[in-house]
Amino acid sequence: MTIFNRRDALVTLTAGGIAAAAASSKAFAADVPQPRRAGFGGDDPGPRNVERDMQNPDILNQPVTDAGTLPNLRFSFADAPTKEYAAGWTRQITIRELGISKSIAGVDMRLNAGGMRELHWHKEGEWAFMLYGNARVTAVDADGKNFVGDLGPGDIWYFPSGIPHSIQGLEPDGCEFLLVFDDGSFDEDSTFVVSDWFKHVPKSVLSKNFGVAETHFNNLPSPSERYIFPLPVPGSLESDKIAGATAVSNGLVHRMSAQEPIKSSGGTVRITDSKNFPVSKTIAAALVEIEPGGLRELHWHPNTDEWQYYIEGSGRMGVFAANGHSRTFDFAAGDVGYVPFAMGHYIENTGNTPLKFLEMFKSDHYADVSLNQWLALTPPEVVSGHLNFDAATMAALKKEKEPVVSGS
C-alpha cells in the first residue's frame, strides 16, 4: 500500500512544483479511502491513519443526510487502557472516555481459569453479560441470604447497589464479560474491596469483631495483590454451597440468550428488564441480532439514554438530534455507542455476517417508539398531508412493531 506522506510532498514540490504534487497525490492504492465524493472534497496526502479511516467511512465521508454538530457517540474498548493483573485484565469506558455517557459506564474484564475478582461491592448497581467462557459468582444480600451460581456465554447477572459479591473464572479457559454500571462516573478503582478495608481497620478492632487474637491478622495481604488474583479452580457447584445458608430468593442470574426472541424479517430481539428479571431495577437491556443488509428500524426511546455494546459484526448508526442536526457512526466488535434521550436513530448491518449488540438503559423497563408504527396508527390524511406519501407508501405502513427489518 502506498501512502503519500509529508516527506513525499516536500520532495515532489521541490522536484516539480505544485502540478507534479497534484499528479502524485493520485497515486494512492485503490482501497485507500479519500475525503471526496460527487465532486466535493479532495485527496488527503497525509500524514494520516489509513486504517482508522477505513474503520470509519461515515466519518471520513459523511453521508449527505448528516448535518450540524453532534458530540462524539462512539468509543472503542480497543482505545481504552488495559490494566493487567496476576490472573486477568480489565479496561473501562466511562464519562472520562465517552463524555456524553453520563448515565452508564462499562467495564470489559477477563479472568483466567481460577482468576478471582476479589470480594467487593459498589455504590452502583452492576449488570453483567457473559461474553466468553464460564464463571462462578457469589453474593450475599442484606438479609443474610447467599447466592452461588455458574454462568456461561449469554447469561447475565445483576447485583444491586451495595450487595457484596465475587467472580471467578472456571475451566477450561476462564471467562470474559461485560460489566455495566448505572452511573457514567463509575471508576473500577473506586470499588469497596475487602482486603483494602482490612488494611484500614486497627487490629484491636478486628480482634473484637471476629473474636480471635490480634496476631491472627499479621499476614493480611496488600490490596494491590488481590484485585484480580489466582486461586485454585473451584470444584463442583455443590462443593461451594454453604451448609445451612438460605438462598437469595429474588434471583440474581438470568439466561438472556435462552429467552424466546422477538422474531422479525431482519433478525431477532431479546428484551430483559424488571418484568422478566425482577431484581434488575436500574438496568434494562435488549440483545439485538441483525441479518446482513437488515436494519434496526427507525425509532427512539421515550424514557432514557441508550448505551450500546457491539459483540460481533459491523454496522452503522444514524442519529437525529432535531434542530437540523444528525450524524452517522460506524461500529465493530468491542465498540461502544451512545444515543442521548429521545433522539431518533437506526442501526444498519453493513457486513456479510450477523450484527449482534446490546442496548442498555438506566431504567427498570425497556421502551421504544417505532416511527413506522406511529405513522401507521395516525390518521392517513394527517400522515400524507405531512409527508406527501402516495397510496403505496401509506399501505406499507405497519401497525405492529417490527424491531428489525430485512434489507430485501
| Residues marked as catalytic | 359
299 assigned to a ligand binding site: yes
365 assigned to a ligand binding site: no
> At which residue does the C-alpha cell 466468553 appear?
132
List the one residue out of 190, 200, 177 whose CA is nearest residue 122. Answer: 190
Sequence-separated (6 or more) residues with CB below 8 Å from residue 376: 397, 398, 399
Residue 250, phi then psi, degrees to nearest 5: -90, 0
CA distance 313 to 291: 10
306 assigned to a ligand binding site: yes
CA distances 51 to 3, 73, 119, 329, Å, are 11, 20, 41, 16
Cell triple for 257? 440468550
Bridge partners of 330, per DSSP, are 316
CA distance 328 to 276: 33
CA distances 244 to 35, 144, 247, 292, Å, are 67, 11, 10, 52
216 assigned to a ligand binding site: no
Bridge partners of 150, per DSSP, are 136
200 assigned to a ligand binding site: no
- State the burial class of residue 108 (Cβ atoms within 10 Å of its Cβ: 0-12, 13-18, 19+): buried
126 assigned to a ligand binding site: yes
The alpha carbon torsion through 366, 59, 310, 287 (nearest 10 deg) reads: 30
Count of residues for the chain? Answer: 408
List the one residue out of 232, 234, 253, 247 whose CA is nearest residue 177. Answer: 253
CA distance 180 to 184: 10
CB atoms within 10 A of CB 43: 16
| Residue list for the binding site for Mn(2+) | 120, 122, 126, 165, 299, 301, 306, 345
